Chains A and B, each alone.
Chain A
């Protein structure tokens, strides 16, 4: 009788594990390199469009407006939220519950002096 109970328990255990095993989530693809590339792409795109040129002489609103508009454009196209540590000219159309993807550190000439800026991208 005890043997039968053991067999039934084992049968039940095997059934249970076989049922739940396929429900385990698949391992996520490691996309860390791509995230770094995307952060660099964003910096590069903003640089190519000349968004940092205007900070050279003045630290005023028109320079921020151009950068801000491009950040919003990128956010609307990709869903990626852009933030700078040195200015509030990043994206303003973020959803709000983003998590950090990556960040890059670059030197920007502000008022004729080199200044280190950190760009953080979130999604």
Chain B
């Protein structure tokens, strides 16, 4: 009487399974896409924060070098106070800066404070200074990674 009934039932089940798959695919796609985008944006944000932090550290180190650590200092006597000259570099004080200690204190693997731009460091900034008694204009590079 109803020879087609079992086949029709099977067909109905198969259609339901196909519908379910078609429904699941977009959900999986959206999920994968959302996770991927979140991971990518997180990576970008972390990378930016890291670059900004390194840059800020280099700015601080360079500022302390050109204003305090390597500047010309005239020692005072009983009547006059000692005075320092920001941006005027005393070469002997400049050479005596402990770069290794400075790198350790600021969390750099390597740090260079030089008048010539070193090639190997990833991040560099420079400041303008005058050097020695001749007061020649130089760029002072602070580089680290």
* Alpha-carbon separation in the docked complex, A38 to B36 (Å): 41
* Majority SS at the chain A contact face: helix
CA distance A113 to B142 in the complex (A): 39
Q: Does A111 contact B (CB under 8 A)?
A: no
- A17–B40 Cα gap in the complex (Å)? 12
Instruction: Give the interface SS of chain B, mostly helix, strand, loop or mixed.
Output: helix
Q: Does A112 contact B (CB under 8 A)?
A: no
B81 at the binding interface (Cβ < 8 Å):
no
With A41-B66, A45-B129 as contacts: A7 and B33 at CB distance below 8 Å: no
Is A34 in contact with B59, judged by CB distance below 8 angstroms? yes
Interface residue tally for chain B (C-beta within 8 Å): 36
A interface footprint on B67-89 (CB within 8 Å = 1, 0 otherwise): 00000000000000000011110
- Count how many chain A residues have C-beta atoms less than 8 Å from C-beta atoms of the other chain: 32
Which of A17, A44, A48 meets B33, CB within 8 Å?
A17
A61 interface residue per 8 A CB criterion: no
With contact pairs A26-B48, A74-B128, A78-B139 given, residues A6 and B55 touching in the complex (Cβ less than 8 Å): no
Residues of B at the A interface (CB closer than 8 Å) are: 19, 22-23, 25-26, 29-30, 32-33, 36-37, 40, 44, 47-48, 51-52, 55-56, 59, 62-63, 66, 85-88, 125-130, 135, 137, 139
A17-B37, A29-B48, A44-B87 given; 5 more Cβ-contact pairs under 8 Å = A6-B26, A18-B36, A26-B48, A34-B59, A44-B128
Could you tell me which A residues sit within 8 Å of B by CB distance? 3-4, 6-7, 10-11, 14, 17-18, 21-22, 24, 26-27, 29-31, 33-34, 37-38, 41-42, 44-45, 48-49, 70, 73-74, 77-78
List 8 tightest A-B contacts by C-beta distance, closest first.
Answer: A41-B128, A44-B87, A3-B22, A27-B48, A14-B33, A29-B55, A48-B130, A45-B128
